[in-house]
Amino acid sequence: MHIRTATSLDREDVREVHLAAFAGGEREIVSKLAINLLSEETTPQTISLVAETEGAVVGHVAFSPVAIGKDEECHGYILAPLGVKPDHQKRRIGSKLIESGMQQLSRMGVEVLFVYGDPGYYSRFGFSADAAVRYTPPYKLQYPFGWQGIALKERNAERSPVRINCVTSLCDPELW
């Protein structure tokens, strides 16, 4: 299994991954998000990674930047979406996509990474609700317990609430 940066040429394969990975109500909106993030130009850059097995794309993850309040020094990202084709799940492909992205973000000096997903899965990588409690997501959450974060870099233990803002592709209340 090989992990590489996705390009616009991977659009259709990335779409297929999420259509296969997600269930009925979510599959269209998540695959659309994945494709939109592939072409959205952001500062700093959005990172899309694909996992390939025998030349076929079987997994995908995206990491897009978030603005944290007025603090221009604080660089945050959010992980969304993540999907692995059902017939390739449970082979650590999801784990390797997350770990590979986290390593890249750490090298870039990113301080905090957010995720809105199942704590049962993301706690494996060190995400916790506590690390995100200070950060108010841009929309009201349908499942508030899914809001988590992980500090990639030491920073001051500031506790006052601060709002985060996401890239255009994620500006859809249906995603939250």
Residue 35 beta carbon to ligand COA: minimum distance, rounded to whole angstroms: 16
Beta partners for 67?
Answer: 165
Closer CB to ligand COA, 93 or 105, in the complex: 93
Residue 142 beta carbon to ligand COA: minimum distance, rounded to whole angstroms: 13
Closer CB to ligand COA, 90 or 107, in the complex: 90
Closer CB to ligand COA, 78 or 167, in the complex: 78
Residue matched to tokens 């990639």: 152
Residue 73 beta carbon to ligand COA: minimum distance, rounded to whole angstroms: 29
* Interface with ligand COA (CB under 6 A): 21-22, 82-84, 89-95, 117-118, 120-121
Range list of H helices, the chain = 11-21, 24-39, 93-107, 119-122
Three-state secondary-structure class, residue 65: strand
User: Could you say which DSSP state residue 128 is in?
Assistant: B
Cα 131 from Cα 14, distance rounded (Å) = 30
Closer CB to ligand COA, 71 or 143, in the complex: 143
